[in-house]
Amino acid sequence: MRLWLALGAGTLAAALLTGCGGDDSNDNLPSSETPAVSGVKLNFMGRYSTGQFDESAAEIPAYDAGTQRVFVVNAQKGALDVLGMDDPANPALVDTLTTSEIAANTEVNSVAVRDGLVAVAVQAPVKTDAGYLALYDAETLELISFVEVGALPDMVAFTADGQYVLTANEGEPSDDYSVDPQGSVSVVDISDPQTPVVATADFSAYNGQEDDLRDQGVRIYGPGASAAQDLEPEYIALDGDGATAWVVLQENNALAKVDIASATVTDILPLGEKDISQDGNGFDASDDDGVINIRTFDGVVSLYLPDAIHAYSAGGETYLVTANEGDARAWGEDNDAYWGTEGAGCAGDASQGFVEEFRVKHLVHASGFDRRCGDDLPPQLRALGAGGLLNPTTFGYCGAVDGDPGDCREDDVLGRLNITWTEGYRTDGNGDPVMFTDTGVQDPAGDRIMYDTLYAYGGRSFAIWDAQGDLVWDSGDAIEQFIASDECMAGAQRNIPCADYFNSGHDEGSAFDSRSDAKGPEPEGLTLGTLGGKTFLFLGLERMGGILVYDISDPSAPVMQDYLNSREDWVTEDTESVLVSAGDLGPEGLVFIPASDSPNGKALLVVGYEVSGTTAVYEVQALRD
């Protein structure tokens, strides 16, 4: 009989916590005889390959210790691949779990596992419709139950006490923005897994407070959207006692704090901006200069816009760790009606989409916006004015003067950088743009908007926050600096200089510097693990690839431990043709397996790679003094 059936609701939580495993027992030696863990090192063990390149065939993994199985989201199938881990160096496909019995054409978005219970976030055939949370038996793969949750459930997580499963219901709009469902967090009581009970934490209480939220730094900017529609839950962190959740609102650059017992959003915490003018916060802004050039820029800030988040305890306090990926809204990109044409007077249809990303060089060209008609000019931007200017007081360092951006537009300065046009331009007390002439003179009859600040995407970092959303520590430019250094070596054998492929893309061959204009190495997924009483962060770099390891036991002073990138082919342009030898590209989701739960008695890290369609297994080797 499965444990969740054998136990009553009162003892289920304790059983789940026991089944999750815990700290590495250090070979079961008495603590006085056990050498302290001084750090960790990753060693590549093996992988399972779907054989599907660039099809998102391996995304989010979750592990069940009882069956020694890894459940991996395979978006290409819209299902879960079930991998046997009897031999961690050779994970093998056992079965595929589909959700067709819930509804035809449903898709799996996320998975979490607790002692034989597999919780699955299921997207409806039409993504703007309500989705589902489904519970399966990890051994038999039989469906136990399912319930309706919000639109586009994009992440699922168990509380520490095992009583609840939460889903982050992103509520993305349709591609043409004609339908924009509300974002929400479903709190599902699974005390009896056969009859789960759903409560919903939504954002309707914040409707009518959009201006106040914007003033606090929360990005509310979807066309015509209320707060409840515009806030899009992405990822969930949970405290140790099952009382509180912190939910990333990625596009909104904020966190939502949720009281789990009452299923209520109690606060929205803006994350603010990262000042790129400050030493230690620089980045490489150009993909077209042929060199590594990590530097600071006055007048440029970066929005954290994190993806993955986890909570942990240090010194009796709860801290949150975020992977600051960055993400822009881009709906209607492939719709010609949205963009319009030059011959039609640049009259794109703003009701057909919303794209906020734009290059600096196109934003502040002296000829104005219309030169981009029919190409990449969002009609919402064109409605603000005929062109953009740079504040010469701020951007004089790169040659900006009244009406002329100077060398700021050059490809080796700021020209190639992708920013959001939705923020940074000067506004009046009503929030309307202050207008200027094309020569830079403030004039209500003018047709130019003035940018005092440029807002880039993503921190290119990981950050640690306290429980109130206040920044404790940020890695600054350390990730890009490390990748650019002689110390960084890629490949499972650590024999490929990272700097030769600095800020490469995950779906390209030789692509030096190709991601510098966007979000750089793009930290996206993360997980935490405990060894020897220390807390370690495992951080996936989506574009550059590889896993960074940090000791974050002291939240104010993390220490880097290791980096391993098991991508092997960095040269062949047609990467798909060398899939077998390419290794692992595009880390998406990570799961840490403590030694006490591991099939081989060693701590492991399992990573899903969405581009290579592989699931890789690494040994987490404890280093001792």
At residue 75, what are phi and psi to the nearest 5 degrees? -65, -25
Q: What is the pLDDT of residue 26?
A: 37
Q: Where are the alpha helices (DSSP H) in 448-604?
A: 478-484, 579-582
Residues in the chain: 625
**Alpha carbons 122 and 310: distance in angstroms, whole number:** 22
Taking residues 193-204, what's their average pLDDT?
98
Q: What is the pLDDT of residue 34?
A: 67
Taking residues 200-206, what's their average pLDDT?
98
Taking residues 32-60, what's their average pLDDT?
91
Instruction: Show the domains of the chain with their CATH numbers.
Output: 3-271+306-327+458-624 (2.130.10.10), 335-456 (no CATH)
Question: Which band of pLDDT confidence, cut at 50, 70 and 90, is reported for residue 112?
Answer: very high
Tell me the residue ranges of DSSP E strands in 203-305: 233-238, 244-249, 254-259, 264-270, 273-275, 283-284, 294-295, 300-303
For residue 296, pLDDT over 60 is answered with yes
For residue 21, pLDDT over 60 is answered with no
Taking residues 27-50, what's their average pLDDT?
78
**Alpha carbons 195 and 147: distance in angstroms, whole number:** 9
> Any residues with CB less than 8 A from the CB of 67 and at least 6 apart, and which?
116, 138, 139
**Higher local confidence (pLDDT), 25 or 589:** 589
Is the Cβ–Cβ distance between 24 and 623 less than 8 Å? Answer: no
Q: In whole numbers, what is the pLDDT of the chain averaged over residues? A: 93
Q: What is the pLDDT of residue 562?
A: 98
Q: What is the pLDDT of residue 254?
A: 98
For residue 109, pLDDT over 50 is answered with yes
- For the whole prediction, is pTM greater than 0.75? yes
Q: What is the pLDDT of residue 625?
A: 81
At residue 403, what are phi and psi to the nearest 5 degrees? 80, 0
H or E stretch at 227: helix 227-230
Taking residues 24-43, what's their average pLDDT?
66
Taking residues 572-594, what's their average pLDDT?
88
Q: What is the pLDDT of residue 9?
A: 33
Q: What is the pLDDT of residue 498?
A: 97
Question: Which band of pLDDT confidence, cut at 50, 70 and 90, is reported for residue 510?
Answer: confident
Model pLDDT for residues 430-467, shown as the tens digit of each residue: 999 999 999 999 999 999 999 999 999 999 999 999 99
For residue 624, pLDDT over 50 is answered with yes
Q: What is the pLDDT of residue 15?
A: 33
The closest of 337, 355, 357 to 347, measured between CA atoms, is 337
% of the chain at pLDDT higher than 90 = 87
**Alpha carbons 483 and 284: distance in angstroms, whole number:** 12
Could you count the other beta carbons within 10 Å of the beta carbon of residue 33? Answer: 8
At residue 207, what are phi and psi to the nearest 5 degrees? -65, 135
368-372, 399-403, 459-463, 497-501, range with the lowest pLDDT: 368-372
Taking residues 514-538, what's their average pLDDT?
97
Q: What is the pLDDT of residue 25?
A: 33
For residue 266, pLDDT over 90 is answered with yes
**Alpha carbons 477 and 594: distance in angstroms, whole number:** 31
Largest CA distance in the chain: 80
